[in-house]
Structures are given as structure tokens and as C-alpha cells.
Structure 1
């Protein structure tokens, strides 16, 4: 599949889609606390997405049964919302929102802390935030795709963390998943050369221990092999001549630390 280089009109539509997804994630963040179920998060995403004139991109994608992924504690990605899954003090939960408006998609996620969390959970969450920013910081016209993975891997390795290889970022635009695949492990100077007008996600999944994964029988949920906590943060990025633009940037910092009750 060819990599799409977006023109000015499509980039403006991508900006709108990114803003919608970011807004819905911020709305959910404001309501998170202990006692909330992941099923409620799904309801909030559906309601807020509709209020913004958009549709949840994930709903029905390859049969996915929900409008959002909610991945708690040892769940690496693709956690399915469930009314029986209650957030408890000490949990961390990733909320992954993708919005489709006017035929274009915006994709973003963050990991939230519910009350006081363990040292391991705090460490992996903080490292993951730094890994995402490091990957974003190397994006520019003329850079290589491998530069992103190399920057992420350098920080994770220095902090004793693992980087999940089985999943990566992806091109995004008129489809939720497009070329290129964006590995979160890589070698600087290798891979596809980035060009202004490309849009893709960077979404590292970071683990405390070895990043081996286990796929659950529901066909979606992926967990750490040893049950240790894992974190993920994600933005949709536009490559520009000068560097990059974060299309899912928040106007104000997300409230990542949420009440215990």
C-alpha cells in the first residue's frame, strides 16, 4: 500500500479529526475516577463523539464490539470495555479514542492513574510518556522511520523497560490504519524517508519487564506475559517541512492523575 502525502485541504480535515479525538479523550479524562466501569467509558465516548458530529472509528472495525479500547494494568492494548470491569484505586488504564469526521480519522490515547499507584506502574507510565515525546521529537521532513523507533528504544532500555514489537503506529487519514507501519523499535537512519504531508500515529507500548505478549481468547485483548503493568500514550502526527505538528494535541494538559473515589 502506497504512503499517502496529504495536500492542504486534506491536512485541514485531519486537523479537525485530531481535534475531535483529543476533545473526546479530554472529556473522558475529566470523568475518570475509582468506581467508574470501562463500560461507562464506552458510553461516554459514544455520546461525546456524536456531540462533536463524528463517529467512533473503532466501533465494528474488524468486528471490534466497542467504540473505544480500555486497557487496564497488565493489558497492553485492545482491551474491550465491560460494565463489570470497575476501576479501582491503584489501577492504571489506557483510553484509546479514534474519531471519524468528514471521512478523516484522528487517533489518540493516554494512560491514567486511579488514586495512588505502585512504583512499577508509575515508572512505566512516566517512561512511556517520555518515549512518546522522544519519538515525536525526531520527526521532520527527510528523517527516517527508524529514527522514531531508535529514540523510543533508547529511553526505554536506559530505564530498564521493554518496548512491545508486535504492535506499532500506523499511517492514518481516510482510513484508520494505512501505510506506513511505524515500529517502536528501530535503528536510526534506516527505513522509509519521512516527507512533509505524511500523517501517522506514534503510540509506544512500554512494559516493566520483557515485552513478550499473550493474546487472550476473546480475539482482541493483549496482556503482558508476566502480569506486570504496561502503559501506552499516542498522538497523531503530521510531518512538516520544519518538523512536525501534533494533530491530537490538547489545549490544556490532560488530568492523568484521577481521584481514588
Structure 2
């Protein structure tokens, strides 16, 4: 007897449900824009957290990060050598030239939006500007692979290809942070499947179908790929002290091409 293997697909939503996710995502986008506008020298990451929470709650949504496994903030605020999951703090005061990554999530009517943005406090150095641009280009390459029939690893492969293309463009190498990546998203913030940021032929066999949703989030460094978690059990830093960038969008597969659900105003 031949046993047929069950087809595994990335969880999918109806058109109306994607619209609901886009409504949550628009609030996230507005919060990120507000954070960037407020990110000037002398402002603390706790100030940015309060701004983001105000935007989210005034829109009728709830910050999805706050209280998540005990996380104390409404945003993750990661500055310079912090890759992800930086805890907002009054002691972390922004200075000219800092590279800031803000990760933000919101829940509206039970649906989640999740997005991250890296930017400078004032002008960035050439190195940091190329790092952020490379991370954005990797994200865009992953988004372009969100088409029906592709597998999750096709998206991972595209993200890595975007990084390699950026390396050629800028004439330098970037570290792809190990052990972190994107994820399924919907009525929960973190769902299966895990989305790696580099090609892994042994994983990511789930198929994308119309309505499938993933949070795509490449993280690159100016140095190596190794990181450590600080004593607060959240903050992830580069082991070599080099700077890191993080870009993320929640994206849906549609018949008309990839749809970004976390657009910024």
C-alpha cells in the first residue's frame, strides 16, 4: 500500500481576514513612524516606547509585545550592537549617529501586525547606512518570494540571495544572525512555521497558498553571525560588538502578488 504524505501548507486567511490584519498592521506602521520622528539626540528608548504605546492604544488596539512572556515594553528598542529584543529604558539615551532598530506589534480585533524598522539618529556612517540598506534589500527579496506554490525555504533562500546581492553591491560582507528569523502570524503573534534567513534545504517544506501570512525579518551585522543574550534574558547583542540592523514586515500571499500588511503612513 502506498501511503500519501499529507500536504503541509502555511496557515492561510480569507480576504476579509487579511484586511483585518492589514488594519492592525497599519497601526504598527503608524507607531513606527512616530518613533522614528521622535528619535532625536537626548530622547530615551523608554520615551519611544511610551510614544508607540500611545499611538497603538489611541487607535483602539493593544500592544502585542507588552507582557508577552513577561516582556515589559510595547516595543523592542535595539541600539547599535543590540540585534533584537532590546528593553526600552530611561538609561538608554539616543546620540547622534546611533543605529536604532524598533520592532513593534499590535493586536486589533484579535489579529496581529508585526514590523521592524532600522534607522539613524541623524546621519548614519557609510558602514551603518549600507548595513541597514542591505537588511532592507534582504527583506524585499524575501517579500518577492511570497507567491503561491513556493515553499517556506524558497523565501529563506531568497532572503539569503538578497543579502549576497547586497554584499556584491556594497563590496563587503554581512553577518546573517544565527538562530533568529521570521514566523507565521495571525491570531497569534508567533506561529509555525519558522522562517530562516538563509537557505536550509532540510527545512521549510511548508507550501505557500493564497492567504498564507508570514512575518519576514532579516537581521544582519557588520561582523560575525554569533550573538549572546544579556542577563535580562531578552537583549540579544553581537558577540564581536559590531552593529546590527533588523527590518520586518508582515506579508500575505495573494493571487495578485505579495501584500505587505504592515504599511507605514
Partner of 1:148: 155
Provide the rounded CA distance (Å) in 2 between the counterparts of 1:125 and 1:147.
23
Aligned length: 251
Single out whichever of 242-251 and 164-173 deviates more from structure 2: 242-251
Runs of 5+ consecutive residues of structure 2 not aligned to the other structure: 1-7, 168-172
2:185 to 172, 183, 188: 172
1:125 correspondence with 2:132: yes
Structure 2 counterparts to residues 222-233 of structure 1, below 5 A:
222-233=236-247
1:96 correspondence with 2:139: no
2:233 to 210, 215, 219: 219
Partner of 2:142: 135
> With structure 2 as the length reference, what TM-score do the two structures score?
0.90
In the TM superposition, what is the alpha-carbon distance from 1:120 to its structure 2 partner? 2.3
Structure 2 counterparts to residues 190-205 of structure 1, below 5 A:
191-205=205-219
Runs of 5+ consecutive residues of structure 1 not aligned to the other structure: 252-261
1:120/1:229 contact within 8 Å kept = no
Provide the rounded CA distance (Å) in 2 between the counterparts of 1:128 and 1:225.
19
In the TM superposition, what is the alpha-carbon distance from 1:10 to its structure 2 partner? 1.7
Single out whichever of 206-215 and 75-84 deviates more from structure 2: 206-215
Partner of 1:8: 15
C-alpha offsets along residues 155-205 of structure 1, whole Å, 9 cap, x if unaligned?
A: 323511121131111111111111111111115796221111111110100
CA RMSD of aligned residues (A): 1.8
Provide the rounded CA distance (Å) in 2 between the counterparts of 1:2 and 1:46.
34
> With structure 1 as the length reference, what TM-score do the two structures score?
0.91
Indicate the structure (1 or 2) with the bigger Cα radius of gyration.
Answer: 2
1:184 to 197, 202, 205: 197
Provide the rounded CA distance (Å) in 1 between the counterparts of 2:35 and 2:129.
21
In the TM superposition, what is the alpha-carbon distance from 1:9 to its structure 2 partner? 2.8
Provide the rounded CA distance (Å) in 2 between the counterparts of 1:56 and 1:213.
27
Partner of 1:62: 69
Provide the rounded CA distance (Å) in 1 between the counterparts of 2:35 and 2:122.
16
